[in-house]
Amino acid sequence: MQQLISELMEAQIGCVRANEPLAKYTTWEIGGPADVLLVPENEDQLSRALMLLHRHGTPWCVLGRGSNTLVSDKGVRGAVIKLGDGFDDVQFEGTTVTAGASYSFIKLSVMVGKEGLTGLEFAGGIPGTVGGAVYMNAGAHHSDVSRILKSADIIWEDGSRSVLGNEEMGFAYRHSVLHQRRGIVVRAVFELASGDRKEIAAAMATYKDRRRRTQPLTMACAGSVFRNPPGDHAARLIEAAGLKGLREGAAEVSQVHANFIVNHGGATAEDVLTLIRRVQATIEQQYGVKLVPEVLLMGER
């Protein structure tokens, strides 16, 4: 690993940090150290980094704003890549919006609304990056990324680059082609529509008020833990089973929203995983439904 770190620093791929604790980079405030954290500032640096990792056979993963992610207490072996400020930009051209992968998805939804563009209102409560949203086909309020994405710029694991159109992204529920083929979104182009600013603002205000009332936004959490099963909602099943308030260590099934797990301070990844398994076992036993986690599990087990 030291040889790889030396080569990464010589290649000037941006910030390189060995044995970097990841808890401070996640919204759950949980996670052990990465062998190496890489923060490239542009596409050339990222491409060089991926080529070096590929050459050394070093495993890697991507960390955006740390939502929707549970990092192991043991940390992450190999490299964790976090895109730097050079990927945090946005441009408008008519109804077309181009955003860098590290740009806040929530911030983007607010900006396009102020520009009088509709189609991204659903993103107002998704606390991740543009890149993460494309990777997961993030969605809410009966809409998702697949409905508005025109294309995505990708850098693949060998450092090569390509642009994929919507139809090539393999979108499905919380899924994209990037779950099968290793690559990193560096830029996304969205095709929106002209709308009424007042109507857009009103819709987003309604969504925001609903989130404020129904989600534990003041506590350390990672968003929805489970995918909604076909024709139902995970939160409804969990609440109906009487699991709100169920605890494991400092982790708790939120008493505000049953599909959230909150960290009361000092919760471990193992606490959260144990709680996830207990919820899954109860729901399958009572309702015959297998809840599938939506959060990404990252690191050594």
Active-site amino acid positions: 174, 224, 294
From CA 87, how far away is CA 121, in angstroms rounded?
A: 22
- HSE-CB at 64 with a 13 A cutoff on CA atoms is 27
Cα separations (Å) of 272 from 5, 29, 52, 215, 283? 32, 12, 34, 18, 17
Q: Are 33 and 75 in contact (CB under 8 A)?
A: yes
Q: Are 81 and 64 in contact (CB under 8 A)?
A: no
29: which DSSP letter?
Answer: -
Contacts (Cβ under 8 Å, ≥6 apart) of 17: 36, 37, 39
Q: Are 86 and 105 in contact (CB under 8 A)?
A: no
Instruction: Put residue 19 in one of left, alpha, beta given phi > 0 → left and psi -120 to 50 → alpha.
Output: left
